Amino acid sequence: MKLKASTRRRLRRGLIWVAALAAGLMLLINNWVVNNSEAYVYSNWSLLPDNEVGLVLGCSPYARNGRPNPQFYGRIEAAVQLYQLGKIKKIIVSGANPDSTYNEPRQMWRELTKAGIPSQAITMDFAGVRTFDSVSRAQAVFNLERMTIITQEYHAYRAVFIAKKLGIRVVGYSATSDSIGVFSRTYLREVFARVKAVLDLYVLSTEPKFLGGPEAVNAVPDEPPPPLP
């Protein structure tokens, strides 16, 4: 059935209003996440409060072009810096571990130990399939009531927002990386991820994908993990 021209115009206007409303809501949610968290995110280590444990959030060691990922190595560098300065004493590396060829915690463990961090100070969380899970498991599995989250600034806002809502006393530390443009794929993905975080916390009552029994922080053997294929 062919619609009248006037009906098509009304539909187009309606869709435009719906799209504008959705965009405005996303903007409001993103501003809420950032404004709620920015006072807890530090870029200057000398101002950063001390915590027993630092949580390093995982990402791929490689960028889309196959080169080393500045975000991954920025987080490693920041964790090493804070450990050496005594700002943290233990480190949890939390990330995805979907198969035998890709393991973010294992890669972070290797880079940290190469940089001189004792293996006994590092705990690998293999069930950090996304930021919500990494932060939630820090409380539910590793029994953390306070911690320092280590990641890039744009990402730290969401992680700190989640931790605060869960009742964790948290600060974030901004790791260095290449500049992330507001129209980049990475930043746009973060815009949607902030909306999803608010839905997880306030609407969906989401739980981590994997939850097991309590685990001790730094319960890691001295020998290195088996090599990746």
The predicted structure's pLDDT at residue 66? 86
pLDDT band at 228 (very low <50, low <70, confident <90, very high): very low
Tokens of 158: 């969401």
Q: Confirm whether 57 is domain-assigned.
A: yes
Q: Confirm whether 102 is domain-assigned.
A: yes
Q: Confirm whether 46 is domain-assigned.
A: yes
Tokens of 71: 């975000």
Q: What is the pLDDT of residues 106-127, one digit of tens each?
A: 999 999 999 999 999 999 999 9
What are the start-end ranges of the H helices in 102-217? 104-114, 131-140, 153-165, 185-202
What's the number of domains the chain is made of?
Answer: 1
Look at 15-19, 157-161, 209-213 and tell me which has the smallest mean pLDDT. Answer: 15-19
Q: What is the pLDDT of residues 13-66, one digit of tens each?
A: 777 777 778 888 999 999 999 999 999 999 999 999 999 999 999 999 998 888
Q: Confirm whether 16 is domain-assigned.
A: no
Q: Confirm whether 51 is domain-assigned.
A: yes
Q: What is the pLDDT of residues 81-105, one digit of tens each?
A: 999 999 999 999 999 988 878 999 9
Q: Confirm whether 32 is domain-assigned.
A: no
Indicate the helix (H) or strand (E) that contains 19.
Answer: helix 5-37
Of 190, 191, 189, which Cα lies nearest the Cα of 26?
191
Q: What is the pTM of this model?
A: 0.87
Pairwise pLDDT comparison (8 vs 216), residue with the higher score: 216
Q: What residues are paired with 34 via a beta bridge?
A: none
Domain housing 109: 40-202
CATH number for 162: 3.40.50.620
Indicate the helix (H) or strand (E) that contains 76.
Answer: helix 70-84
Tokens of 173: 């530390």
Q: Alpha-carbon distance 137 to 211, whole Å?
A: 7
Q: Are residues 48 and 173 in contact, defined by beta-carbon separation less than 8 angstroms?
A: yes
CB atoms within 10 A of CB 80: 17
